[in-house]
Amino acid sequence: MKNHQIIKQIDNGNCVFGTMLTNSISPRWASHFENIGLDYVVIDTEHSPYSRSEVANLVNSFNLCSVAPIVRIPIPSSHYATMNLDAGAAGILAPYCESKSEVEEIVGAVKWKPLKGKLLDDIVKKNIFPSEKSKIYLENLNKNNICIIGIESVPAIENLENMLDTKGIDAIFVGPNDLSVSLGIPNEYENKLYEDALKEIIQKCESANTPVMIHHQTTDLTSKWIKNGANFVLYTSDKRTSQNGFIEEFKHIKDTAINLGKYKSINKNIEEEIV
């Protein structure tokens, strides 16, 4: 599923599914994720040490498949947004936005590149273009770029309606860890304060016809918030999924050896964590 198909699906109120890449470097991962039925991946350059060339290689490989590569940039900066779009990214996820000016900078970079400066401000803030030809050119050039804005703090929620006034936002991303810390309840995802905050974000986004992406690490939490209105579904990460799979499967086969009296743990710490 390419980026234009993702935009069409979420505009119709349907779900799309993806995961976050934090460790995978080999371009061969692209066909793997295509085979398991993902619509998109988020390549994380905010918290992971991907180099510019590694991101470009991953992006180009995913573009050869039917999985759209979205890049989470380090900060809400037009420089990082256009750099990754130039590498072939299907979209940009800008983390931790709290002001309308930050949103306008990202929307301008994603939806109207390569225009910059005052002329770009005129488009984003006043809908004034250098010419009708320029407008048509820029619209066609950037029509499939996906623009996702990160809402990850209490000030961001308080200013969300103002930020949503900016035309060109394709989805709102919620980072649960940052948001829960901002609420004063780190990682308490069953806490009513956290749940009320998510519901408020979803309600405001629904009023603005903007899809919501929430990044949870368990199937139960992910399913719960799909039921509550999150349809741009970002589930777990390559690191966590592979780790959980190995833990579960090796526990099963080790239990067989233990029952036969053929296994004694070499690494007590790891075994205790698995149990």
Read off the pLDDT of residues 229-247 as tens digits, 9 standing for 90 and up: 999 999 998 888 888 888 8
Reported as a single tens digit per residue, the pLDDT across 53-66 is 999 999 999 999 88
Region 136-160 average pLDDT: 97
104 within some domain: yes
Q: What is the pTM of this model?
A: 0.91
Looking at residue 268, what is its pLDDT? 57
43 within some domain: yes
79 within some domain: yes
Residue 208 sits at the vertex; the CA angle it makes with 203 and 213, to the nearest 5 degrees, is 65
Please report, for residues 160, 176, 181, 191, the alpha-carbon distance to residue 184 in angstroms, rounded to integers and kept in the order given: 19, 12, 5, 11
Looking at residue 111, what is its pLDDT? 98
CATH of the domain at 78: 3.20.20.60
Looking at residue 267, what is its pLDDT? 64
Give the least confident one: 84-93, 102-111, 132-141, 265-274: 265-274
252 within some domain: no
231 within some domain: yes
CA 215/CA 95 separation, integer angstroms: 12
Looking at residue 181, what is its pLDDT? 98
Terminal Cα distance for the chain, rounded:
39
Reported as a single tens digit per residue, the pLDDT across 204-216 is 999 999 999 999 9
pLDDT at residue 275 greater than cutoff 70: no
Region 30-39 average pLDDT: 87
Region 13-21 average pLDDT: 94
255 within some domain: no
| DSSP secondary structure of 67-100 | -EEEEE-SSS-HHHHHHHHHTT-SEEEE-S--SH
216 within some domain: yes
Looking at residue 11, what is its pLDDT? 86
pLDDT category at 110 given cuts 50, 70, 90 is: very high
Domain range spanning residue 181? 3-238
pLDDT at residue 258 greater than cutoff 60: yes
Q: Kindly provide the b/e burial profile for residues 207-235, where b requires at least 16 CB atoms within 10 angstroms of the residue's own CB.
A: eeebbbbbbbbeeebbebbbeebbbbbbb
Looking at residue 53, what is its pLDDT? 95
Give the least confident one: 13-27, 92-106, 193-207: 13-27
254 within some domain: no
Number of domains in the chain: 1
CA 230/CA 224 separation, integer angstroms: 9
Place of tokens 């103002």: 162
Looking at residue 83, what is its pLDDT? 97
Return the higher-pLDDT residue of 208 and 7.
Answer: 208
Average pLDDT over the chain reads 93
